[in-house]
Structure 1
């Protein structure tokens, strides 16, 4: 039986280009019994000026070959196909990331959706068109490498910043209409953004789900960045402000209700972006995430029967 959510796992923790700690991070995920590790290659110094650093890439391949686990890759946090001034550099890095995916057998590359100053509607339409053209080009390359590009919904940190809502990210994926491009729902990001603009969070997630082939799960309270300076991450957690990447159940995201009403694409991965600072909680999070996946899979099986 084809599963809608077919594998569940965690993202690795990037520590300033230290590939030895990447190996340890993968090992921890394997030891938890996860199905997939999403590699935070944005923080591993594998690409310089759009070119792969071959000696470090060779080490990456050697590390990944040690483990019997599925891989996906997270591209640059600052990835932005709306930014015309840096678009060639952005595309060069995305292409290099796809080549790294090919070498290690990763089947998904995470690409953040774009952002620019908000501007009038015609300007926002130009941003969207620029992003769609770039995504089409990158998806062509991804398809040949056996990789899907997963376009992730993000949140704005100020009213002067243009970001697409989850339903608008879905519109972008549909407009590009490429088999190697899917949506990536980050539930916490969607919660923060819909709170910020006063939109219906659950409706936005439902609108994105039919094009989603990748999920990022971590908890928060959906509170926008009304404060931006914290001396410790624990202070932001204590106040419940921002994109906290907390264990499931620490925030108030209604995951059970959400997973009872979304229908992502078959073969979707559920990745928990819950780092090693919460090592003691991750086994419990894995059990909860598997239950969420089974809620979707059981419903899909019942509908197909």
Structure 2
């Protein structure tokens, strides 16, 4: 049987200011346009507090979602990070709650941004970073087992370079951000170490393009080498400019800076070369 591709859209946190009415309003718009899937941002739904699901709010959201025939995936808070060793317990709690909510609404995919470390302490040397990566692998194995019992897959998303990003563990520098997942091959290696059938990769095309320009790797070659592990895709465009002088995307757009999340065709990403390798996801 041929794999069925569902084209979806992200429910951006900025569109959920009047809770919960905005959620239903946006889902109605998505339905009218013809989208078949929606990615729900866990943090914007405000259903997890202190690592625990607030059942009343979760039920409220679920009652809205069941009125639509979308396939849902769950996006984590950007600060979810299994390499955050000092706060690992709460990180695991939030991750587990994300899986629980996905199970509650019948979602089969949860996204997780690859772990990172802000190198702002001299103690954060090569040994510390390697240990953090090992911890991430160990915790993902446990979470994958937990998710598998609920028929849920974990899709680890490639990171987006900033001007401070280093992805090579041999090139650590004070003040930088070690973000191995900005390099797609590093991400593949980490996911292979997890070694679970229900753990794969979310390919974020915008992140990959910016990172390829900043870290000087061949985008198409790396996409080809991870393609068999891609189970979920974030498809959006940009100009490959790593600089981010302002946080507001509205102000960044005229100058083409950073991770703009533009519709395909607005920027410079060569989708015609990338998409043939990921249309199975």
Equivalent residue for 1:145?
Answer: 150
Which residue of 174, 195, 218 corresponds with 1:177? 195
8 Å contact kept, 2:220–2:273: no
Matches within 5 A, 1:157-168: 157=162, 158-159=164-165, 160-164=176-180, 165-168=183-186
SS where residue 5 of structure 2 aligns? strand
SS where residue 185 of structure 1 aligns? strand
8 Å contact kept, 2:36–2:69: no
CA distance in 2, matches of 1:100, 1:222: 34
Q: Which runs of 5+ in 1 are unaligned?
A: 269-305
Matched, 1:244 2:260: yes
Equivalent residue for 2:222?
Answer: 204
**Structure 1 residue 205: Cα displacement:** 1.8
CA distance in 1, matches of 2:79, 2:28: 27
Q: Alpha-carbon deviations, 1:203-241, whole Å to 9, x = none?
A: 22222221110000011011102x4226x5333111111
RMSD: 1.7
Matched, 1:257 2:273: yes
**Structure 1 residue 123: Cα displacement:** 3.2
**Structure 1 residue 130: Cα displacement:** 1.2
In the alignment of these two chains, the number of paired residues is: 262
Greater RCO (Cα-Cα under 8 Å, separation 6 or more): 1
Equivalent residue for 1:85?
Answer: 86
TM-score where L is the length of structure 2: 0.88
8 Å contact kept, 2:161–2:207: no
**Structure 1 residue 263: Cα displacement:** 4.7
Equivalent residue for 2:173?
Answer: none
CA distance in 2, matches of 1:213, 1:35: 17
Q: Which runs of 5+ in 2 are unaligned?
A: 166-175
